[in-house]
Structure formats: structure tokens, C-alpha cells
Amino acid sequence: MKVILHIGAHRCASRSFQNYMSRKGDQLAQYGIACLGPERTRAGLLHGIQPGGLSLGRRDPMRRARGRIALSLRAQRDAGTAALVISDAALLGSLERCLTDGALYSGAGEGLARLDHGFDGAITDVMLNIRSPESFWASALAMQLEHSQRLPNGRLLARMAAARRSWRDVIQDIYCAMPGARIRVFAHEVFASQPHAQLSVATGVDCPVARGGFKLNTSAQLPALRADLPASIAAQLPEGDGRWMPFSAGEISALRESYYDDMMWLVGGADGLADLVEDPKKADAITIPTAATGRPPRDDLTRGLPHDPDTGRLAGAG
């Protein structure tokens, strides 16, 4: 049985992917594909994997977690599951910590190593979605702005733009933490609207095409932000109807250049650490979704939920 870990990243259509798997759950089950989302990962299945919380008496939380996970995997095998997809962007790390650090998932390696230990090496595949950093940060900051009603200061934006840690470093951390798993990388700019294509690549099954409203949790655009925020803050936002971009032109250029370097590394084989998945609609050529052409990466998802709640939507999606 394949055990496929889909770890986001945040702001890369993870909730839309989970929504797709839920709504196509009956069809996917016919192919032997089972899916577990945040409603399972955050409701006890992985309790004890990460440090923190209370330990009951002398019981070892990690040992109990390993036993719980082993029983869950055995039940899936006995049920005839050929591919189990576990999807939760929080497994990669905390988006709040990323925003505080001004850097991409600096604690990813330690957390994923503990997760790999909890699964006793059973994880066979890792799915990672990446996104051009200026769009990733802008989306995360828009979400934070709606929550905190505070605009980011220039020092934070400058730190994000100058950060030396890139998606390449995140991928290297994943590889070191889970050396037995195959890492597949999906560019958000290509795959955000193709959850079926992602799942097909990961499982080896020709999964049903996504149709209808699978897109969830996209960040608010400028008109919605202005409507949701106090007038004093809304007045500081730029005019226009598109997405809010808090970075200066120079900062955007630096962030896109970082993404271009990462994509070139992935196209060149990523030192054997990971596989960049090509656009299935353009299978005859590798697409680098960066500003190499002088245009920003395409990012035109319609607005969905304005924030990323702690509870999952996989089980309850209609």
C-alpha cells in the first residue's frame, strides 16, 4: 500500500485539494484510494508525534502514536486500500511561524523526521506544492491582515524579500527527514486548478476530473479586503480590483529571482532529491512558472474562505 503524505504548502490550494478528494471520495474508493484530511490528523491520529502537550503517567506519547498509526494503516490494508493519501499543510509546519520568522518553514526537517518515525518509515511518497514567494507571502499576509487588522511593517517585508531560505532548502529538509520517500513537487501556478492531475500522478490512477466549485480558502482581493477592514486601514491599501501586493517592485524582483533559481534546480533534477511534476496539458515541454518572461506567475483563483481554520473540511464537504 502506498502511503502518500500531502503536506501543502499553505496558501497553495491544499484545502481545494482536500475538497476535491472528499467530493470524489466514492469514486476514488473504487480505485482503492482512501483519503485522510485535517479532521483526522488534528483529531488524535497523530497525537504524541510532536513535542508538547501532556503525557499520561509514564506512557510514552511517541510509542502510543506509533501503535495507533500502525493499527490505522493495517485497517486500511485490510480494507483493500491501495493508496492512502494523508493531507494536511500543518504537517510541514506552522504558517504563523513562517510569518514571524519571515522565512519558509524553518522547522520543517525536525517535525517531518518525527512524523517519519511515527509512521515507522511507512511513508512512500511526499507531495509538496510550492508557489512563487511574492504570491505566497502576499496571500499569507492578506489572511493575517484580516485576522489581525494590522498592516505588515517594512522591516518584515524586507526580511522576507532578503531571506536566503528558499523552497530548495525546504525540499532538502524533507529529503533528509524522510529519505525513504519519493518527493514530488507541484507548482501552484500550474496545478492549483488541477487537483485530479496531482492525485493521478501520486497514485498512478487516472482520477476523475475536477469540475465545479472545488476552490476553497483563496485570499481576499482588494475590494473584499477594503470592505472587511476598518476604514483607517482600508485607506492605506492601494487602489484597484486585483490581489493585494504589499512588496515593492525591487522586493518582488528578488523574490521571483529566488523562485526562478529553485525551478531551474528542480528542472535540472534537484540533485536527485525530488521530482518536479510537469503540466499534464503540456507534457511535451517543461514549464517554469516564474517571472523569466517578465510576467508574474498566473494566480487567478476565485475567492473562497477568507482564512484557514484549524478544523478540516475533508469529511464534511458536500
Name the pLDDT band for 318 (thresholds 50, 70, 90).
Answer: very low
In a domain, 56, yes or no: yes
Is there a domain that residue 180 lies in? yes
Any domain includes 171: yes
Residue 44 lies in a domain: yes
Cell of 274: 525530488
Q: Distance (Å, rounded) from C-alpha 217 to C-alpha 304?
A: 5
Task: Read off the CATH number of the domain in which 190 is found.
Answer: 3.40.50
Is residue 139 situated within a structural domain?
yes
Whether 306 maps to a domain, the answer reads no
pLDDT digits (tens, 9 = 90+) for 179-215: 999 999 999 999 999 999 999 999 999 999 977 665 6
Q: Which amino acid is at 171?
A: I
Q: What sign does the dihedral 192-140-265-8 (CA atoms) show?
A: negative
SS3 label, residue 41? helix
25 or 295: whose pLDDT is higher? 25
The domain tally of the chain equals 1
Q: What is the mean pLDDT of residues 130-155?
A: 94
Q: Which three cell numbers stand for residue 62?
A: 511517541
Residue 169 lies in a domain: yes
CA atoms within 13 A on the CB side of 185: 26
Domain range enclosing 9? 2-293
Whole-prediction pTM? 0.86
**Kind plus residue range of the DSSP H or E element containing 33:** strand 33-36
